[in-house]
Amino acid sequence: MSEDKNAYAALAWQVEAGADEAILNEARKRFLKPEPAAKPAPGISTATTAAKTTATGSKRSASVPLHMEAPDEAAKSAAALAAACNTLDELRDAMAGFDGCALKNTAMNLVFGDGNPGSGLMFVGEAPGADEDREGKPFVGVSGQMLDRMIGAINRDRTSAYITNMIPWRPPGNRNPDPSELMVCLPFIRRHIELVAPKVLVLTGGVAAKTMLKTKVGITRLRGKWHTYDTEAGPIPALAMYHPAYLLRQPAQKRLAWQDLLRLEEKLTELG
């Protein structure tokens, strides 16, 4: 093999393994050896070095936390933090300060939410991709354009819908979030939904639908039906739909998605 071919094969191998960015604006000391320190408060990092300002203006640690909790401990810490939040701003700050999810270490930004939390309509996706990570906003890449078209089909836009994700940090290489990452972040999305208190919840894709509806049933069977999502304040009607990224890969399924959107519009009209 020529040197060029070797270099190309090495690059292709890295892309296959999930590497999709070669450089960052700032060097990141991912494997920094930590200094011993006092045990931090649950889930909150006191054990990081320099803070950096992210695209969304929130400060976050620029290096690996000293102390990484086990996922079940981290989920408990997340639950305690989430329960103490009474506004979306408090929740965003609590999530920005939480170091119990390893995805934060490789993400550039916390991706919290976008749109109008008072609109009565809330979409929950899976996790940010590269564009969302860069901008610190959910659904701003090609999937986001598709989601905007879906929302547009029921005569709404981001001023009349609210959008967030199950996971607020980008999984490296856009892999699916794993079950322990979902478990750790679940208290945050649950509190997020409670604070937004939408009239209607839309769960886009199998990960959001199965996790929030606590079922192993696949999205093909869940979609297009009304389910109930229970909160402390009462039940919220929840519609499962195909994820916009899936519709981009399988355009023939848009027919079903558009039927689901009609169902959604009907429900919104009914609820006023």
The site for ligand URA (CB under 6 A) is made up of 125-129, 132, 138-139, 143-144, 165, 245
Nearer to ligand URA, 47 or 245 (CB): 245
Closest among 38, 40, 111 to 69, alpha carbons compared? 40
Beta bridge partners of 114: 163
Nearer to ligand URA, 132 or 148 (CB): 132
Nearer to ligand URA, 29 or 149 (CB): 149
Would you tell me how many other CB atoms lie within 10 Å of the CB of residue 146?
Answer: 19
What CA–CA distance (Å, rounded) separates 268 from 161?
Answer: 11
CB of 5 to ligand URA, least distance (A): 34
CB of 47 to ligand URA, least distance (A): 29
Nearer to ligand URA, 105 or 165 (CB): 165
CB of 1 to ligand URA, least distance (A): 37
CB of 158 to ligand URA, least distance (A): 13
Nearer to ligand URA, 206 or 224 (CB): 206
CB of 11 to ligand URA, least distance (A): 25
Q: What is the dihedral of CA 141, 145, 147, 153, to 10 degrees?
A: 170
Nearer to ligand URA, 6 or 145 (CB): 145
CB of 151 to ligand URA, least distance (A): 14
SS3 269: helix
What CA–CA distance (Å, rounded) separates 264 from 239?
Answer: 7
Query: What b/e readout covers 232-244, taking b as 16+ CB neighbours within 10 angstroms?
Result: eeeebbbbbbbbb
Nearer to ligand URA, 98 or 139 (CB): 139
Residues 125 and 243: beta-carbon distance below 8 Å? yes
Residues 99 and 43: beta-carbon distance below 8 Å? yes
Residues 99 and 44: beta-carbon distance below 8 Å? yes
Q: Which residue is nearest to ligand URA (CB)?
A: 125
What CA–CA distance (Å, rounded) separates 242 from 128?
Answer: 17
Give every CB contact of residue 102 below 8 A, 6+ residues apart in sequence. Answer: 68, 181
Nearer to ligand URA, 66 or 212 (CB): 212
CB of 121 to ligand URA, least distance (A): 16
The distance from CA 247 to its chain's CA centroid, rounded to whole angstroms, is 19
CB of 166 to ligand URA, least distance (A): 8
SS3 200: strand
